Amino acid sequence: MKIDPIHQFNIEPLFTIGHIGNHTIAFTNSTLYMFVAVALISVLMLASGRQLVPGRLQSVAEISYEFVASTIRSTAGAEGMKFFPLIFSLFMFICVSNLVGIIPYTFTISSHLIVTAALALLVFFTVLIYGVYKNGLKFFKIFVPSGVPIYILPLVMFIEILSFFLRPVSHSVRLFANMLAGHIALKVFAGFVAMLGVSLGAVGWLGGVMPLALTVALTALELLVAFLQAYVFAILTCIYLNDAIHPGH
């Protein structure tokens, strides 16, 4: 019995679609779960009722709507509502794919750095392009904090610029690492149960209660992390967009 906690992250092509340059574009399990996430969000948002007094599904749809809307309003102000569809899509996409990923035998899209990096870069370039488009050169005032003595300003500016360009890194690695580590931990502890049982027989199955309990507890924790990381991703997006909307902070 060998536990392979990395296996769950394998990208398995289901069929090949075509080639771009010398890259093969395949329909993979990752693709499938992306479409699953999109389909689940669409069902939630489009198939829920439109009653005056909402049912369960409609409540979930409305709560997610209002949750994201209030997050944007509180961090980026009313002007941030321009980006409501973007932030809502990001939040729901990450949240749903994280939650789906907790189900055993599924694949977690956000456990791949390339996906989280792509989403983080999408946010980064949205901030950069919208900031320059809306504020022109004034956008770069975000690198020059007001009220800093002139003799340390170059240092502060250097740090600000560095942190600005490192944003997509921290933004993407945070989500990726959380999902990856959580799933590896889950897999390892769940594997212990089977390993103890197979190697020690009845005593092992009894001893397996401990890692099993830990697996249950970790699953609960992962549920929290799945939601929390989606929220963190969304709120950081709001904060970054706030810089683009109001650069003179």
Partner 1 sequence: MAESHGEKSGQKAGAHTEADGGHGGAFPPFDSSTYASQLVSLAVAFVALYIIVSRFALPRVGGVIEARQNMIEGDLADAQKLKDESAAALKAYENDLAAARSRAQAISNETREKLNAASEAERKVLEDKLTAKLHDAEKTIAATRATAMSNVRGIAADAATAIVQRLTGAVPDGAAVNSAVDASLKGQA
Out of 99, 119, 123, 241, the residue judged to bind partner 1 by CB under 8 A: 119
The pair of structure tokens assigned to 19 is 């080639």
Helix/strand/coil for 48? coil
Distances (CA, A) of 122 to 40, 110, 125, 241: 22, 15, 5, 12
Q: Which stretch binds partner 1 (CB under 8 A): 2-10, 135-143, 146-154, 203-211?
A: 2-10
What pairing do the DSSP bridges indicate for beta strands 23-28 and 13-20? antiparallel
Site for partner 1 contains 150 (CB under 8 A): no
Site for partner 1 contains 76 (CB under 8 A): no
User: Residue 29 burial by CB count (10 A; 0-12/13-18/19+): exposed, middle or buried?
Assistant: middle
Three-state secondary structure string covering 148-188: CCCCCHHHHHHHHHHHHHHHHHHHHHHHHHHHHHHHHHHHH
Scan residues 83-112 and list those touching partner 1 (CB under 8 A): 84-86, 88-89, 92-93, 105, 109, 111-112
- C-beta closer to partner 1: residue 11 or 220: 11
Distances (CA, A) of 211 to 37, 89, 94, 207: 30, 36, 28, 8
Site for partner 1 contains 181 (CB under 8 A): no
Site for partner 1 contains 194 (CB under 8 A): yes
The label of the residue with tokens 């003179």 reads 248
- C-beta closer to partner 1: residue 50 or 249: 50
- C-beta closer to partner 1: residue 79 or 160: 79
Residues lying near partner 1 in the complex (CB under 8 A): 1-4, 6-14, 16, 19-20, 22-28, 30-31, 34-35, 37-38, 41-42, 45-46, 48, 50, 52, 54, 58, 61-62, 65-66, 84-86, 88-89, 92-93, 105, 109, 111-115, 118-119, 122, 176, 180, 191, 194
